[in-house]
Chains A and B, each alone.
Chain A
Amino acid sequence: MARRVTKGRKIVTTVLAWFVGLVIFFPILWTFLTSFKTELQAISIPPVFVAFDWTLENYRTIQSQSNYLHFMLNSVYLSLGSTALGLIFAIPAAWAMAFSPTKRTKDVLLWMLSTKMLPAVGVLIPIYLLFVRFGLLDSRLGLIVVLFLINLPIIVWMLYTYFKEIPGEILEAARMDGAGLAKEITQVLAPMAVPGIASTILLNVILSWNEAFWTLNLTTSNAAPLTAFIASFSSPQGNFYAKLSAASMLAIAPILIVGWFSQKQLVRGLTFGAVK
């Protein structure tokens, strides 16, 4: 039975949607505006919205004080590296869970997810010591491995929900047609799961890009990504809000652009299975 959408209800929901959207978007908008203010205007009370002297000074200062490109490239390496590593492990894992489940598959999945509930700081010391021991501090490789491990449960879960939607008989047909395990996964399963794999990649890139706890604690300069770049502009003395905002804008710009162009994919990926 289709619900009748009255005009009144339509207006109410539209207004509500805009309100919620604005609330969610406001911090980014505020950061954006602040990044063009002077440091004094940035902390002025009452706050000014648009009637201030727009300036690019903050961006200039940031450029001169640090090497944005270095940090950005590190962010790219870390997010892409950890995502690639994640897929290599998660696709076979999700394949096994989706197509040859045992009685314990659900338990394993829940257990994997439960590791996400442990506060990261709880394992900071052991991981830090391991990094010292293996000389991985401030190395990209070390961070890629850590980011890969912390996001692995989410990648496996997402791929698992996607793979569940694919009829097992199609994979069996591939087996009958002479495909070995590798061909079955690369030529039949993966092409059929492209939308799912794409949104998994996207989400994982965003998660790794924004990950701050480990990137801040395990790097100093060489492997430091954009999160460290932002943090370096918060200082214990003096005014830094405008510069911090400018740094934040620069840090989220790439992901914002990527996210903008792939938002359909992302929404579909995150709500997949929920509607069936």
Chain B
Amino acid sequence: MGQIHLEKVRKAFGEAVIIPELDLQIEDGEFVVFVGPSGCGKSTLLRLIAGLEDVTGGQIVIDGQDATELPPAKRGLAMVFQSYALYPHMSVRKNIAFPLKMAGMDQAEINRRVDYAAKTLNLDNYIDRRPAQLSGGQRQRVAIGRAIVREPAAFLFDEPLSNLDAALRVGMRLEISELHQRLKTTMVYVTHDQVEAMTMADKIVVLRAGHIEQVGSPLELYSAPRNTFVAGFIGSPKMNQLGGAEAARYNAETIGIRPEHLRLSTTEGTWKGTVKVSEHLGSDTFLHVESPVHDEPLTVRADGEFPVHAGDVVYLTPEEDKIHRFDAKGLAIR
């Protein structure tokens, strides 16, 4: 079981209110990702769930039991830290065994579980090394191993991949997704990375200044953002947001159109513009187009081989049914 309900949770550090009031339901087996700009309170929220910080108000209910006052050790959750936080004075084996030892499990069972975890995480060759003798990726695996051996009610991850290089990150991302499919244990995952959020999550929670802006599946957030903030935050490159006369034509204060929903032509279209920068990624080309309809360059996605260069004149046509409309408060008009 791994059901976590946050009810009217508040958190302040002294005078500074970080989380004003927040309700969130995390159901058993879900993969929930927290995203939001730096400093919005993602880590704080995770640490409140873990019990590493005390709530200022509200309740945290884990599997139907009020856990608000429980110390971290009693909540049955496991955490993987950004810095891995391995015990430097213990071997890999002892690191992974530590939570089992704390639980008072007998040695034979500890050995069996550690060996199994080490095998599934490809750590058997390093089992007697100290953390200092491991690479970043291996350390990350040890941290994950230490979390899975005790079969917790839920896993908490705080940007676990941000210290790894790009290639390793992709590999570990898949491993964590596989782990989730295999264990079917609730996972709460904090990240900055769009791709991690979109690919791993069952449910994304978008936070801003301690508020939940929207909760939903990755596709819901992508296709129906509730407001301009979520619209701008989910999706990469960012959605183009236009105001003024163009928005007025659609009876909105602001309209949003994603780079992949602008049709590109060199001969005709709705908006005329000049290419300022073109970024060729191989599979795609991203163009930053200066146009009189908007004071910032519009981002457009084109095919990888699209023959265009800085200074060229292009025409852009938004796909009508993919236009997002927002009112004066920034809320989506449906």
Contacts and interface: CB of A to CB of B under 8 A. Distances in A.
B81 A169 contact: yes
B81 A175 contact: no
Contacts of B83: 167, 169
A167 B85 contact: yes
A179 B73 contact: yes
Listed residue (A169, A173, A174, A179) with the most chain B CB atoms within 10 angstroms of its CB = A173
A176 B87 contact: no
Given A167-B83, A169-B81, A169-B83, A176 B73 contact: yes
B46 to A, nearest CB: 11
Contacts of A183: 102
A177 interface: yes
Given A175-B73, A177-B98, A178-B103, A169 B150 contact: no
A16 interface: no
Interface of A: 167, 169-170, 172-180, 183, 188, 191-192, 194
B29 to A, nearest CB: 21
B153 to A, nearest CB: 12
Number of chain B interface residues as a range? 20 to 34
Contacts of B102: 177-179, 183
Given A178-B99, A179-B102, A183-B102, A173 B89 contact: no
Given A167-B85, A169-B81, A192-B88, 20 more contacts: A169-B83, A169-B85, A170-B88, A172-B72, A173-B81, A173-B146, A174-B98, A175-B52, A176-B72, A176-B77, A177-B73, A177-B150, A178-B73, A178-B99, A178-B103, A179-B73, A179-B102, A180-B71, A188-B87, A192-B89
Interface string B81-100: 10101111100000000110
Interface string B43-54: 000000011100
A8 B78 CA distance: 61
Contacts of A170: 85-88
Contacts of A179: 73, 98, 102
A176 B102 CA distance: 10
B173 to A, nearest CB: 22
Q: Name the prevailing secondary structure of the A interface residues.
A: helix
B150 A178 contact: yes
A169 B88 CA distance: 12
B79 interface: yes
Nearest to A194: B89
16 contacts: A167-B83, A167-B85, A169-B83, A172-B52, A172-B79, A172-B81, A173-B146, A175-B52, A176-B73, A177-B78, A177-B102, A177-B150, A179-B73, A192-B87, A192-B88, A192-B89
A275 B142 CA distance: 31
A220 to B, nearest CB: 47
B73 A173 contact: no
A180 B73 contact: yes
Contacts of B86: 170, 173
B13 to A, nearest CB: 11
Listed residue (A170, A172, A176, A192) with the most chain B CB atoms within 10 angstroms of its CB = A176
A191 B85 contact: no
Contacts of B73: 175-180
Contact of A172 (B85, B88, B103, B150): B85
Nearest to A190: B89
Interface in B52-67: 52
